[in-house]
Amino acid sequence: MAARRAVRFGSLVEGSNTGAETIQALYEETARIASVYPRVPLNEVLSDLIEAQDITFVQLEGRQKPAQSKDLYVLAGVLSLMLAKASHDTGDPQSAMKQARTAAICADQAEHPGLMVRVRAQQSLMAYWAGWTSEAARYATAAEGLAEHSTGSGAVWLASQTARTWAALGDGEKALHTLNRAEDLRAAVEPDDLDGMGGLMRFAPCRQAYYEAETRIWVPGEEDQAKQSAQRAVSAYESAHEQNSDDWAFGDEAGARADLAFAHVCLGEVEGAREALAPVLDLPAQQRISGILRSVMRVHEPLRRPEYTGSAVVRQLREEIETYAQTPAAAITAGR
């Protein structure tokens, strides 16, 4: 709280003429939020995020040199991108898209392809989870040309997101081809300035493994490969957590575990599914963000197959999933 007041005070002292100190303070605060966001419940970071965006917008309304304007637009774009994710996490895709459009405008003003690629990937991601798969594909393909420029790990994110979008649309061949492209991009990646922020801005290898599993569970005949990818992602996230790395993200780890459970169920391995899903079902309500709930409820679908009729173990797991989904994080956040 004291640090937040200091940033605001500095911006007021420098007045309408934005100075280097204010921009540096805003950069450090934006990087801090990007780093911690994936690791804590939303209600622990949301007020800081809103405050930082507000200060940045106020500074853009003042006067500054062209280079400083570009820096401010980049920061405003990153903060708006994170607020788009916040709205997405609370199950409000319409508000999420409004924030993302602002982020896209800022990326365009800053002429920053790495930021625009990340914005399009986030827009595609949000449409994907909202069930708007055709729109998800439109956002993903809109930035394919930009990924040819130096966009850091954002290019890997865009390709990985595109892959699971094609898979969800039923084009397994195209999805698997795009997964291979993501691997090629990973091998050639050169970190950019946004990668330096870490957290949400860096598309880590563990997250790429999660997206690979997410892609393969949509493709018939890929169940074994999906299980392997999901297990690799879970192991990588466990390692990142143990090392207190900002590559760790409780939401993406939960998604990888849900995908692992889904693959187990499809392969007839119910006990394996229970074991994979147990840590997700133990998450407190404030961490039950929209993407996690949708991932968990997807496991519910194959558990309703005829071959599981009469299984007490399956019935209990279905009931646990249904109970879990009744208290989303949005209910906790709205109460603050």
In this prediction, residue 281 carries a pLDDT of: 95
Count of CA atoms in the C-beta half-sphere (13 A) of 293: 22
Alpha-carbon distance of 27 to 16, in angstroms, equals 18
**What pLDDT score was predicted for residue 6?**
47
The pLDDT, as a whole number, for residue 4 is 53
Instruction: Report helix angle 113-130 to 93-110, nearest 10.
Output: 170
pLDDT at 21: 85
Q: Distance (Å, rounded) from C-alpha 265 to C-alpha 279?
A: 17
- What is the per-residue pLDDT for 13? 47
Q: How far is Cα 294 from Cα 304, in angstroms, rounded to an integer?
A: 16
Neighbouring C-beta atoms of residue 158, cutoff 10 Å: 32
288: CB partners within 8 A, 6+ apart: 324, 325, 327, 328, 329
303 φ, ψ (degrees, to nearest 5)? -70, -10
3-state secondary structure of 63: strand
In this prediction, residue 10 carries a pLDDT of 47
pLDDT at 15: 52
Backbone torsion region of residue 181, taken as left when φ is above 0, otherwise alpha when ψ lies between -120 and 50, otherwise beta: alpha
Spell out, as residue ranges, where the chain has pLDDT lower than 70: 1-18, 150, 329-336
Helices (H), the chain: 2-13, 20-36, 46-61, 66-89, 93-110, 113-130, 133-142, 154-168, 172-188, 205-216, 223-242, 250-266, 270-281, 290-300, 312-324, 329-334
CA dist 324 and 248 (Å) reads 23
Q: Tell me 62's DSSP state.
A: S
Closest to 317 (Cα-Cα) out of 275, 279, 274: 274
Measure CA of the first residue to CA of the last residue in the chain; give whole Å. 17
3-class secondary-structure state, position 288: coil
Residue type, 247: D
Buried b (16+ CB within 10 A) or exposed e, 224-262: ebbbbbbbbbbebbeebeeeebbbbbbbbbbbbbbbbbb
219, two tokens? 């493709």
